[in-house]
Amino acid sequence: MFYKLCYTFLFQFVEIPVPSLKKNEILIKIEAASLNQADWRIQKGLMRPFHPKFPFIPVTDVSGEVIEVGSAIHEFKVGDKVVSKLNLWKAGGLAEYVAASESDTVSRPAGISAADAAGLPVAGLTALQALSSIGTKFDGSGTGADVLITAASSGVGTYAVQLAKLGNHRVTTTCGARNLDLVGSLGADEVLDYATPEGAALASPSGRKYDYIINLTDRGKWSVFRPQLSSNGGRVVDVSPNLGNFLASVMTLFSRRKRLSLVILTLGKKELGFLLELMREGKLKTVVDSRHPFEKAAEAWERSMSGHATGKVIVEM
Ligand X SMILES: NC(=O)c1ccc[n+]([C@@H]2O[C@H](COP(=O)([O-])OP(=O)(O)OC[C@H]3O[C@@H](n4cnc5c(N)ncnc54)[C@H](OP(=O)(O)O)[C@@H]3O)[C@@H](O)[C@H]2O)c1
Binding site for ligand X (CB under 6 A): 36-37, 122-123, 126, 150-151, 153-156, 174-176, 179, 194, 216-219, 239-240, 263-265, 307-310
Q: In this complex, which beta carbon is closest to ligand X, that of residue 30 or of residue 123?
A: 123
Q: Please state the closest distance from residue 155 (CB atom) to ligand X, in A.
A: 3
Q: Please state the closest distance from residue 210 (CB atom) to ligand X, in A.
A: 15
| Residue nearest ligand X by beta-carbon distance | 176
Please say whether the beta carbons of 205 and 192 come within 8 A.
yes
Q: In this complex, which beta carbon is closest to ligand X, that of residue 142 or of residue 176?
A: 176
Q: In this complex, which beta carbon is closest to ligand X, that of residue 101 or of residue 153?
A: 153
Radius of gyration over every alpha carbon of the chain, rounded to an integer in angstroms: 20
Q: Please state the closest distance from residue 161 (CB atom) to ligand X, in A.
A: 12
Q: In this complex, which beta carbon is closest to ligand X, that of residue 73 or of residue 125?
A: 125
Q: In this complex, which beta carbon is closest to ligand X, that of residue 18 or of residue 173?
A: 173
Please say whether the beta carbons of 109 and 277 come within 8 A.
yes
Q: In this complex, which beta carbon is closest to ligand X, that of residue 175 or of residue 278?
A: 175
CA distance 122 to 109: 18
Backbone angles phi, psi at 165, to 5 degrees: -70, -35
Buried-exposed string 226-261: b where 16+ CB fall within 10 A, e elsewhere: bebbbeeebbbbbbbbbeebeebbeebeeeeebbbb
Backbone angles phi, psi at 37, to 5 degrees: -55, -35
Q: Please state the closest distance from residue 240 (CB atom) to ligand X, in A.
A: 3
Q: Please state the closest distance from residue 174 (CB atom) to ligand X, in A.
A: 4
Please say whether the beta carbons of 159 and 149 come within 8 A.
no
Q: Is 40 left (phi over 0), alpha (psi -120 to 50) or beta?
A: alpha
Q: Please state the closest distance from residue 32 (CB atom) to ligand X, in A.
A: 16
Q: In this complex, which beta carbon is closest to ligand X, that of residue 154 or of residue 228?
A: 154
Q: Please state the closest distance from residue 60 (CB atom) to ligand X, in A.
A: 10
CA dist list (Å): 192 to 25, 61, 181: 45, 30, 11
Per this entry, what is the length of the chain? Answer: 317
